[in-house]
Structure 1
Amino acid sequence: MEQPDASDRPAPHGTRPDQPAIEKIFEWLLWNSRYIVLLGVVFGALSAIVLFLAGSMEIFEILVEYTKFSSSHLTHEEILIGVIGAIDFYLIALVLLIFSFGIYELFISEIDVARMGGEFGGILEVSSLDDLKNKIIKVIIMVLIVSFFQRILSMEFTTSIDMLAMAVSIGVICVGVFFMGKNH
């Protein structure tokens, strides 16, 4: 039986037999430059941790201030503003986590540990950049809504027009959330 010569053998995966060496090197460098997204993954996850801690500290400070037996007792509005601020931190942290998981899975590798244990939730599963963008946009919209309500709580209403503007704003947000949910 005759042995095939080197020109008849298939080329190694990802290269062509007639591909110049400089092209192989360039393509290898270009392909491996995707690992730069690890900076976004690591710093996105670290930022999320910082925001989770900041939100927790916000609630802790409210608890400490609320349980103090002093004359500077918190009002209901101050408590709500603080708690909503903490929720804002948590939601932004979630955006960063979704971003970190998403770009890791899109550019580097699937997160095998999460998939093996069956713990991988649908919110973290990203199949394309559009999918990642849509998930992040939904959470950002929730952040904006929470921020809006935090600002509403600290507003002073002096005229009936102020109250009407607040009611219309809340109505518009409700309609937007309705259509956002209907689109899903």
Structure 2
Amino acid sequence: MNILEKVFESVLWNSRLFIVFAVIFGMLGAVVLVIVASLDIFHVCIEAYKVLTGPEHPKNFHEVLIGGIIGAVDLYLIAVVLMLFSFGLYELFISKIDVARESESSKILQIRSLDQLKDKLAKVIVMVLVVSFFKRVLGTSYEGPLEMLYFAGSILALALGLYFLHKGGSNGSH
């Protein structure tokens, strides 16, 4: 029974290595998002150059310009979520990243517990939602006082959420 138990425990322990697939594909997803976001910014720059050097200035040029840039920032933030997720899974389930431990600039990527990983992911996801909210607000038109009141209330709720998120992170709970 002892040898069967050792074999089972060995197989069970080594099954954690399947997490490497999530790490690899998470990093691939992050790379793809960074490339796509960078191409989006590049296209926005080309369009801005065309408009600035051309005879016409489109009516909604600023909204399109800001919307494109904010969309790219959104993609960059989602790439950060995938990177944090990949680094965290690797450190928690596979091995500590020795190169990161030796570097002074990698403290954000060091994950010591599942709760710490969830906390870091939650903060970045909240920032993704803030950016998405900002992008959506840019394209919205307000026709009445009630809609403006809803808009002000949503900004207040967002500000309170960011305040409490920051307050929770600054008192040592991160």
TM-score greater than 0.5 by the shorter chain? yes
Picking from 62, 70, 92, the partner of 1:106 is: 92
Aligned length: 165
Q: Equivalents in 1 of 2:114, 2:89: separation in Å?
A: 8
Worse-matched range after superposition: 64-73 or 128-137: 64-73
Asked which structure has the greater CA Rg, the reply is 1
Q: Equivalents in 1 of 2:55, 2:20: separation in Å?
A: 49
Identity %: 47
Q: Equivalents in 2 of 1:57, 1:160: separation in Å?
A: 39
Shift of 1:77: 1.1
User: Which position in structure 1 is the counterpart of 2:33?
Assistant: 51
Picking from 18, 24, 27, the partner of 2:9 is: 27
Picking from 89, 106, 114, the partner of 1:129 is: 114
| 1:77 aligns to 2:55 (yes or no) | no
TM-score (structure 1 length as normaliser): 0.85
TM-score (structure 2 length as normaliser): 0.90
Q: Equivalents in 2 of 1:150, 1:84: separation in Å?
A: 6
Gaps of 5+ in 1: 1-18
Picking from 77, 80, 103, the partner of 1:117 is: 103
- Secondary structure (helix, strand or coil) at the match of 1:120 reads helix
User: Which position in structure 2 is the counterpart of 1:37?
Assistant: 19
Say what the alpha-carbon RMSD is for the aligned residues.
1.4
AA matched with 2:46: V
Q: Tell me if structure 1 keeps the 8 A contact 2:88–2:111.
A: yes
Q: Which whole-Å deviations, capped at 9, do the CAs of 1:115-169 have from their partners, x for residues lacking one? A: 2233322x21111111101110110011011101100001121212222211111
Moved over 3 A (4+): 70-74
